[in-house]
């Protein structure tokens, strides 16, 4: 699917991890714009997420997930994950998008694979070693097919595929020297001096050109900036 996305939509060739750190710090950066962690933890600190930001502005959102959502590691989200309609299985996504009037669908949708490093019943689908990439590519195909199944939804859709951290060690593009200072209540005290390694990213939409390549400098917080420009007057 990554080859298909690159040929038919837009590839971002300067998308970097927000921090030269691991999974949890970068995922918190992508969903908060900051991370109180510099290394992985069993339980995540209770920091504000983009979910909270959207709720404050009455922007509807939903998470479709295959197995255990990532923010099960943040205890205050467990009730919503278990009982709220804001968290639904990926297998429901295609039907929801096809059979729900567009004005009643969530304005923002997050899609989560089965994570290699969390309990799961089948194969992981996050392209994380040591799992093979075929299951991850099938996950992307299922998500893409759900998005395009409804013509009304697809006509106004923007789908972003990105990876929270890198999976290789031989990238020739050095991370830009953009520092990140520790936020309030952080467990770390010394600033990170650069972004993290470059990661794959694709922009999939009827509004982009097939086979295009974006050379703009981007990182995980770029998605938050996009949401801020669309729903929060840039804030």
> Is residue 42's pLDDT more than 80?
yes
| pLDDT score for 142 | 97
Q: What is the pLDDT of residues 186-201, one digit of tens each?
A: 999 999 999 999 999 9
Calpha distance 228→235 (Å, rounded) = 5
Three-class DSSP category at 20: coil
| pLDDT score for 10 | 98
Three-class DSSP category at 92: helix
Single pTM value for the model? 0.95
Beta bridge partners of 108: 61
Rg (CA), the chain: 17
Calpha distance 180→140 (Å, rounded) = 31
Contacts of 190 (CB under 8 A, 6+ apart): 182
Q: What is the pLDDT of residues 49-69, one digit of tens each?
A: 999 999 999 999 999 999 999
Residue length, the chain? 235
Q: What is the pLDDT of residues 72-130, one digit of tens each?
A: 999 999 999 999 999 999 999 999 999 999 889 999 999 999 998 888 888 899 988 88
Arithmetic mean of pLDDT over the chain:
94
Calpha distance 113→160 (Å, rounded) = 14
| pLDDT score for 89 | 97
| pLDDT score for 210 | 97
Calpha distance 42→64 (Å, rounded) = 23
């Amino acid at each position: 699917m990554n080859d298909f996305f690159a040929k038919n939509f837009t590839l971002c060739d300067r998308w970097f991890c927000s921090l030269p750190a691991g999974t949890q710090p970068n995922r918190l950066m992508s969903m908060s714009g900051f991370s109180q962690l510099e290394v992985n933890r069993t339980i995540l600190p209770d920091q504000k997420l983009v979910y909270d930001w959207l709720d404050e502005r009455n922007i509807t959102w939903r998470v479709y997930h295959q197995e255990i959502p990532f923010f099960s590691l943040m205890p205050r989200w467990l009730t919503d994950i278990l009982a709220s309609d804001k968290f639904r299985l990926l297998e429901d996504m295609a039907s929801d998008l096809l059979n729900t009037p567009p004005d009643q669908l969530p304005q923002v949708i997050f899609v989560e694979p089965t994570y290699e490093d969390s309990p799961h019943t089948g194969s992981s689908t996050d392209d994380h070693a040591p799992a093979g990439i075929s299951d991850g590519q099938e996950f992307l195909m299922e998500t893409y097919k759900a998005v395009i199944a409804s013509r009304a939804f697809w006509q106004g859709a923007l789908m972003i595929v990105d990876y929270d951290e890198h999976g290789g060690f031989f990238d020739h593009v050095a991370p830009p020297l953009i520092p990140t200072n520790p936020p309030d209540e952080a467990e770390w005290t010394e600033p990170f001096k650069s972004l993290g390694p470059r990661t794959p990213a694709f922009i999939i939409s009827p509004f982009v050109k097939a086979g295009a390549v974006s050379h703009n400098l981007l990182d995980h917080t770029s998605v938050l900036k996009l949401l801020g420009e669309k729903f929060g007057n840039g804030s």
